Amino acid sequence: MPTCSQNFTLNICSITETTMKSHKDKILLTAMLVSIYGCQQSTDHRSHHHDEMVAETDDHGHHEQVVHLSRSQFEAIGMKVDTLPKRAMEGFVETNGQLTLPPQSQAAVTAIVGANVQSVEVIEGNKVNKGQPLAYLYHPDLIKLQTEYATNVNELEYLELAYQRQEKLYAESVSAGKDFQRIKADYLSAKGMVNGLEAQLKQLGMSASRVKEGYIYETVALNSPITGYVQSVKVRTGQYVSPQEVLFEIIRTDHIHAHFKVFESDIQKVREGQLVRFLVESQPDIRYEAKIFAVGKVFESGTKAVNLHAEVENNDGSLLPGMYARGRIVTGNALTYTLPKDAVIMEGDRYFVFRAEYHSEDQQWEFQPVEVSVGQSDEDWLEIRSHGEIIPEMKFAWNNAYYLLAEMNKGEIGHVH
């Protein structure tokens, strides 16, 4: 039996070929038009009814985008479901820099006087204690210094006796004033010379009292001024060294500092006392912490960045100056809703989590996608900002977001809208 649309086509063709000259033809034409109009009305009604059904499906399509898991499936993939926890999420500023040492933890060792190196007692990397010999020096000038000290000490003792005698005579008005002044000047000059030579002996590590008694040091030890590690040795046996020449470099790594840079846009967020969490390339699994103790007041012209200094608080001995460090400056804490990163999936430029509901009648879990915004991240957690109200009792998937999205798309539901 011809359909309504087929009748429409046949009737149009019939109308085109009919001349409609008779009254009978006019009656026939009227009947045909009525038939066409009724057919069209019927078609429009069915089309309108179909559109209503599609719209209803679209209106509820979002609610139909769900994934159902049986209890066995739920357990097999290790699903975790719970309410949204609140955590203190840290605000932060990204930073990078290098590990350095403060001046107090570095020492450049030089000879006090020009001398030759008799022996070198350490190599690079050795741990040394304060006062430990690094090398021994010898030179005729060192012996001359000791003999000069001994001579001047004996001269000082003679002048001291003469000064005391003249002082007594002058007080009794027996001696002339100029004689007393002359002997006083000689005495004070000799005393100053002896004190100066004695200070040199002390700097060289020699005992002035022993030299005074006639003992002569043939060599002197060049000692470490701090406890630390030998960073460099710049001398060899037999070499003549001058007083200004650096022979050894000693560093102390227990007070290592981090030298970071902060760009102009973030400088207002940074202040002394804030915590910096950072990583170094050689220890990517260890998170170190440092506390800011100084913030620069001048921008670098090239990078438009400010330097800041932080003291490392949990140095385990593996950190060395010069290491590159990248980290985050903690600028504040805020209590907010969070989820593990494995519970959040990104589609295009939108983020989704899955609300969970258990249906006891068929013992199935139902997961429905919910669009959210994400904020700060802290280790394995993300701040969740809902587009609607979050009821504390609502439960969400804590993991397997990628799996749930794949299962939903596999069910020909398509992408999340």
Residues 129 and 246 in one domain: yes
Residue 350 inside a domain? The answer is yes
Q: Residue 145 and residue 152: Cα distance in Å, rounded?
A: 11
Residues 167 and 241 in one domain: yes
Residue 58 inside a domain? The answer is no
Residue 416 inside a domain? The answer is no
Residues 258 and 372 in one domain: no
Q: Residue 69 and residue 407: Cα distance in Å, rounded?
A: 10
Residues 78 and 163 in one domain: no
Could you tell me where the beta strands, DSSP code E, fall in 272-363?
Answer: 275-280, 283-295, 305-312, 324-340, 345-347, 350-359
pLDDT of residue 33: 38
Residues 344 and 300 in one domain: no
Cα distances (Å, whole numbers) of residue 326 to 67, 280, 330: 41, 7, 13
pLDDT of residue 64: 54
What CATH code is carried by the domain that includes residue 278? 2.40.30.170
Residues 405 and 374 in one domain: yes
Q: Residue 97 and residue 99: Cα distance in Å, rounded?
A: 7
Q: Residue 13 and residue 386: Cα distance in Å, rounded?
A: 62
3-state per-residue secondary structure call for 5-20: HHHHHHHHHHHHHCCC
pTM: 0.56
pLDDT of residue 20: 39
Instruction: Give pLDDT tens digits along the chain (417 positions).
Output: 444 444 433 343 343 344 334 444 443 433 443 344 444 444 444 333 333 323 333 343 344 588 999 999 999 999 999 999 888 777 788 899 999 998 889 999 999 889 999 999 999 999 999 999 999 999 999 999 999 999 999 899 888 888 888 877 777 676 667 777 888 898 899 999 999 999 999 988 899 999 988 899 999 999 999 999 999 999 999 999 999 899 999 998 888 899 999 988 888 889 999 999 999 988 888 999 999 999 988 888 777 899 999 999 888 878 888 999 999 898 877 788 899 999 999 988 899 999 999 999 999 999 999 999 988 777 788 888 877 777 778 999 999 999 999 988 876 544 444
Residue 14 inside a domain? The answer is yes
Residue 417 inside a domain? The answer is no
Please say which residue of 288, 313, 333 terminates a domain. Answer: 333
Residues 137 and 227 in one domain: yes
What CATH code is carried by the domain that includes residue 131? 2.40.50.100
Residues 270 and 192 in one domain: no
pLDDT of residue 98: 94
Helix (H/G/I), strand (E/B), else coil: 80: coil
Q: Which domain holds residue 84?
A: 63-88+334-410
Residue 377 inside a domain? The answer is yes
Residues 161 and 296 in one domain: no
Query: Tokens at residue 190, please?
Result: 């000799």
Give phi and psi for 390, each to the nearest 5.
Answer: -100, 120
Residues 98 and 124 in one domain: no
Q: Residue 117 and residue 222: Cα distance in Å, rounded?
A: 10
Residues 344 and 314 in one domain: no
Residue 172 inside a domain? The answer is yes
Q: What is the DSSP string of 11-70?
A: HHHHHHH----SHHHHHHHHHHHHHHHHHHHHHHHHHHHHHHHHHHHHHHHHHH--EEEE
Residue 415 inside a domain? The answer is no
What's the number of domains the chain is made of?
4
What CATH code is carried by the domain that includes residue 67? 2.40.420.20
Please say which residue of 333, 349, 383 terminates a domain. Answer: 333
Residues 123 and 221 in one domain: yes
Neighbours of 243 (CB within 10 A): 10
Strand pairing partners for 356? 367, 395
Q: Phi-psi bin for 126: left (phi > 0), alpha (psi -120 to 50), beta?
A: beta
Residue 136 sits at the vertex; the CA angle it makes with 135 and 139, to the nearest 5 degrees, is 140
Burial code (b: 16+ CB inside 10 Å, e: under 16) for 191-206 equals: eebbeebbebbeebeb
Please say which residue of 196, 227, 251 terminates a domain. Answer: 251
